[in-house]
Amino acid sequence: MAALLDVKNLGISFGGLRAVNGFDISIEKEQLYGLIGPNGAGKTTVFNLLTGVYKPDAGKVILDGQDITGKKTIDISKAGIARTFQNIRLFSKLSVLDNVKVGLHNKHHYSTIEGILRLHGYRKVEKEMNEQAMELLKVFDLADHADYLASNLPYGQQRRLEIARALATEPKLLLLDEPAAGMNPNETGELMEMIQFVREKFHMTILLIEHDMKLVSGICEKLTVLNFGEVLAQGDTASVLNDPQVITAYLGE
Amino acid sequence: MRDRMKKIKNMNKNTKSNLITYGIVIVAFLVMQTLISTGSISSLLEGLMVPLCIYIILAVSLNLVVGILGELSLGHAGFMCAGAFSSAFFSKCMKDVIENGTLRFILALLIGIAVAAVFGIIIGIPVLRLKGDYLAIVTLAFGEIIKNLVNVVFIGKDANGFHFSTKDVMDLNMELDGEVIVNGPQGITGTPQDSTFFIGVVLILITLFIVINLVNSRDGRAIMAIRDNRIAAESVGINITKYKLMAFTISAALAGGAGVLYAHNLSTLTANTNNFGYNMSINILVFVVLGGIGNIRGSMIAAVILTLLPEMLRGLSDYRMLIYAIVLILMMLFNWAPKSIEWREKYLSFGKKKKEAVK
Ligand SMILES: Nc1ncnc2c1ncn2[C@@H]1O[C@H](COP(=O)(O)OP(=O)(O)OP(=O)(O)O)[C@@H](O)[C@H]1O
Ligand SMILES: [Mg+2]
């Protein structure tokens, strides 16, 4: 079976710094894949390369058979990659519901005129959007807070809202950048369950960056370890975590 | 009946607040209209009613760019200028052709709006690539360019048709029966004075309707998403260029409508710093800032207060500008002093975001 995401030899430099170099990864459909490594290893930069925030200066990115190397963020979103951010990036002055509805933007259409004049199309499509957004909020236990301003949510819920918004774009591949950062063990536990639930319910393929080893070893099937922009180890979670190289470079013993 | 009560109860807060906004405009109009018809208002104040409508439309439309899109534009009066001159030109040419004043005004209105929108698109495409202060400076420049352009245009009409020049009236080379329509710095004289308080209020309501409904639609959400976090908006597939241009163009078009109202309120239309230059643009911005950036009803109220206040303070003529300046300085402090920003971030949460690497 062809992989959903196939990345070969990806690289980028910032000035003199080779932030990512010769990065390969291959992710199967519905896999839950972890990307780990020390601070500054280039993990977030990989996400930025995959989503078109930065243009790679080397390598290829194939998503579901389609070459998306160097494409614009908006086209990559349409091709089917959605993400969350390490530093939460919500639409802070929009409601929780509207944050998800922005995620639904490209899946539901009516014209500007229909919107301004509140014609039938507006009412019908807005209703669908509301229903679908509420559905997603329920999955993440946010339905009760639909009317809150996103910025008024507590930290853990903001992280979950970001995932809901990303899922609203109906992606093929979901990228999560440190989804458990700043969460207490309790919240992290809930998050792990939600991630697994999302994978099963939406048949989602997920690549996640995480420092929390409990989460990583608990839910990821495969891992790639990044160190100084290069792949240090790759493979099944258990074998990677027992790799002596990984232990010295990252896990620190 | 009970069903209806229930419906009103369940209406979300947004809808209610919008209805209140329309309500304020209608009630204010009825009150003023009554005062005017009973003669209990000075003719000076009565003469201020149409300008007031113009300012309100300008403030509400600028808020679409500054508050909803989150970009600083200092060229708003330029779009008003485009709408004013194109519509006055049309009305003057058609004065004897279309005798029905209402029809002529509606056509003039559509033309003014369309021309301003075209200017919005032409200027918006290059300018919206810029951000923050850069955008402000360039829009300011374009506003000035529009204003100065109309000062060098001479257009006349005779039996042979239209004549055009950028030099002077003589250069038009018209037959003796020729009539000058646009006379360079002397502008356009003899525009039919079709603007009324009633038309002004109708235009305010239309402007509010467009802006409020846009904000609460799919497109409006996209515009606000760009304002709140451009990178996140892009990541969910929002077309940044498209929606920035949409907000900018609609805002320009509505300002064009205000220009039409302005042009048809005066018998002589000229372009100078006070009506179409940066003075005006900044005045409008002051309404928006004072009314609360992004707060549509607020910009309306600020426009009313700041237009009427100087008239009310006429007795204190020496202190008028002083008071105005003090109000502005206080606003500046409120918006930009570090301590105040800290306070706002804590309690009101609309501080500016810092730029940084995408994490
Ligand atoms: N836009 C940029 N300009 C210059 N350097 C950058 C930029 N983005 C990232 N870098 C650099 O690239 C390197 C990798 O950064 P990156 O954010 O990808 O690390 P990371 O693995 O996500 O680390 P962390 O675990 O701390 O999030 C760092 O040295 C960082 O300073
Ligand atoms: Mg990172």
Task: Give the ligand whose atoms come closest to the C-alpha of residue A20.
Answer: 1
Report the 10 Å Cβ neighbour count for B318: 7
Determine the average pLDDT of the residues in B216-229.
Answer: 97
Q: Can you read off the two tokens belonging to residue A116? A: 């301004």
CA distance A240 to chain B (A): 26
- Contact status of A117 with chain B (Cβ, < 8 Å): yes
Closest by alpha carbon to B255, among B95, B124, B154? B124
- Helix (DSSP H) and strand (DSSP E) numbers for chain B: 16, 5
As a whole number of angstroms, the distance between CA A43 and CA A40 comes to 8
What pLDDT, on the 0 to 100 scale, is given for residue B334?
Answer: 64
C-alpha torsion sign, points B167, B171, B176, B177? negative
C-alpha torsion sign, points B149, B152, B157, B162? negative
As a whole number of angstroms, the distance between CA A155 and CA A171 comes to 24
Mean pLDDT for chain B overall: 86
Report the 10 Å Cβ neighbour count for B213: 18
Better-scored residue on pLDDT, B311 or A190: A190
Residues of B in contact with A110 (CB under 8 A): 217-218
Q: Are A248 and A224 in contact (CB under 8 A)?
A: no
Residue A207, classed as helix, strand or coil, is: strand
Report the 10 Å Cβ neighbour count for A204: 21
Please check the confidence at residue B306 and state whether its pLDDT lies above 80: yes
Q: Do B238 and A102 touch (CB under 8 A)?
A: yes
Residue B117, classed as helix, strand or coil, is: helix
Condensed to tens digits (0 to 9), the pLDDT of residues A112-171 reads 999 999 999 999 999 999 999 999 999 999 999 999 999 999 999 999 999 999 999 999
Residues of A in contact with B225 (CB under 8 A): 91, 94, 102
- Chain A interface, best mutation among B207, B218, B234, B240, by max A CB count within 10 A: B218
Residue A97: enclosing H or E segment and its boundaries? helix A96-103
Please enumerate, as own/partner, the contacts of B98-107 that have beta carbons within 8 Å and a separation of 24 or more.
B101/B192, B101/B194, B102/B194, B104/B192, B104/B194, B105/B192, B105/B194, B105/B195, B105/B199, B105/B264
User: Measured between CB atoms, which of A91, A98, A106 is closest to B229?
Assistant: A91
DSSP states of B306-346 as a string?
HHHHHHHGGGGHHHHHHHHHHHHHHHHHHHH-HHHHHHHHH
Closest by alpha carbon to B130, among B75, B177, B214, B71? B71
Gyration radius from chain A CA atoms: 19
Pocket test for ligand 1, best of B231, B355, B358 (most atoms within 8 A of CB): B358
What is the 8-class DSSP label of residue B69? I
- Contact status of A51 with chain B (Cβ, < 8 Å): yes
Q: How buried is B98 (Cβ within 10 angstroms: 0-12 exposed, 13-18 middle, 19+ buried)? A: middle
To the nearest 10°, the Cα dihedral for A237, A238, A244, A245?
-10
Residues of B in contact with A181 (CB under 8 A): none
Residues of A in contact with B210 (CB under 8 A): 116
Determine the average pLDDT of the residues in A10-24.
Answer: 95
Closest by alpha carbon to B137, among B245, B249, B278? B278
Q: Can you read off the two tokens belonging to residue B224? A: 């606000």
User: Measured between CB atoms, which of B236, B294, B350 is closest to A102?
Assistant: B236
Residues of chain A with pLDDT > 90: what percent?
A: 93
**Prediction ipTM score:** 0.94
Determine the average pLDDT of the residues in A16-29.
Answer: 95
Residues of B in contact with A169 (CB under 8 A): 236-237
Residues of A in contact with B218 (CB under 8 A): 101, 105, 108-110, 115, 125-126, 129
Phi then psi dihedrals of residue B151, to 5 deg = -75, -15
E runs forming strands in chain A: 5-14, 17-27, 32-36, 58-63, 66-67, 81-83, 173-177, 205-209, 222-227, 230-236
What number does the ligand 1 atom closest to the CA of B357 have? Answer: 1
Residue with CA nearest ligand 1 atom 5: A14
Task: Note residues around ion ligand 2 (Cβ under 5 angstroms).
Answer: A 43-44, 86
Q: Do A94 and B221 touch (CB under 8 A)?
A: yes
Residue A237: enclosing H or E segment and its boundaries? helix A237-241
Residue carrying the six token digits 């620190």: A252
Tell me which amino acid residue A236 is. D
Task: Give the ligand whose atoms come closest to the C-alpha of residue A42.
Answer: 1
Please check the confidence at residue B353 and state whether its pLDDT lies above 50: no
Closest by alpha carbon to B292, among B219, B242, B350, B252? B350
As a whole number of angstroms, the distance between CA A129 and CA A133 comes to 6
Q: Can you read off the two tokens belonging to residue B150? A: 């109309």
Q: Can you read off the two tokens belonging to residue B270? A: 């000229």
Read off the pLDDT band of B4 (50, 70, 90): low
CB distance A160 to ligand 1 below 6 Å: no
Mean pLDDT for chain A overall: 94
What is the 8-class DSSP label of residue B18? H
Q: Do A115 and B237 touch (CB under 8 A)?
A: no
Determine the average pLDDT of the residues in A30-55.
Answer: 96
How many residues are recorded in chain A?
253
Residues of B in contact with A117 (CB under 8 A): 213
Q: Which whole-number Å values give the CA distances from B165 to A157, B87, B169, B218, in the listed order? A: 65, 19, 8, 46
CB distance A14 to ligand 1 below 6 Å: yes
- Contact status of A71 with chain B (Cβ, < 8 Å): no
What number does the ligand 1 atom closest to the CA of A42 have? Answer: 18
Condensed to tens digits (0 to 9), the pLDDT of residues B230-277 reads 999 999 999 999 999 999 999 999 999 999 999 999 989 999 888 898
CB distance A11 to ligand 1 below 6 Å: no
Tell me which amino acid residue B104 is. R
As a whole number of angstroms, the distance between CA B190 and CA B187 comes to 10
What pLDDT, on the 0 to 100 scale, is given for residue B13?
Answer: 67
Residue of B nearest to A93 (CA): B228
Count chain A–chain B contacts defined by CB atoms under 8 A.
Answer: 112
Please check the confidence at residue B349 and state whether its pLDDT lies above 50: no
Q: Are A208 and A179 in contact (CB under 8 A)?
A: yes
Q: Do B217 and A74 touch (CB under 8 A)?
A: no
Bridge partners, B157 (sequence order):
B162, B179
Better-scored residue on pLDDT, B94 or B246: B246
Read off the pLDDT band of A1 (50, 70, 90): low
What pLDDT, on the 0 to 100 scale, is given for residue B340?
Answer: 67
- Strands B268-269, B188-189: parallel, antiparallel or unpaired by DSSP? antiparallel
CA A69 / ligand 2 centre spacing (Å): 21
Please check the confidence at residue A251 and state whether its pLDDT lies above 90: no
Phi then psi dihedrals of residue B205, to 5 deg = -60, -40
Residue with CA nearest ligand 1 atom 8: B357
What is the 8-class DSSP label of residue A72? -
Q: Do A51 and B235 touch (CB under 8 A)?
A: yes
As a whole number of angstroms, the distance between CA B15 and CA A94 comes to 16
Q: Do B236 and A169 touch (CB under 8 A)?
A: yes
CA distance B237 to chain A (A): 4
CA distance B11 to chain A (A): 13
CA A219 / ligand 2 centre spacing (Å): 20
Residue of A nearest to B227 (CA): A91
Q: How buried is B230 (Cβ within 10 angstroms: 0-12 exposed, 13-18 middle, 19+ buried)? A: middle
Q: Which of A17-31, B38-52, B257-271 is the least confident region?
A: B38-52
Condensed to tens digits (0 to 9), the pLDDT of residues A79-105 reads 999 999 999 999 999 999 999 999 999
Residue carrying the six token digits 């039996």: B159
CA atoms within 13 A on the CB side of B307: 24
Bridge partners, A174 (sequence order):
A82, A206
Residue of B nearest to A52 (CA): B235
- Contact status of A184 with chain B (Cβ, < 8 Å): no
Q: Can you read off the two tokens belonging to residue A215? A: 């989460």
Q: Which of A118-122, B203-207, B311-315 is the least confident region?
A: B311-315
- Chain A interface, best mutation among B15, B61, B226, B236, by max A CB count within 10 A: B236
Residues of chain B with pLDDT > 70: what percent?
A: 87
What pLDDT, on the 0 to 100 scale, is given for residue B319?
Answer: 74
- Contact status of A92 with chain B (Cβ, < 8 Å): yes
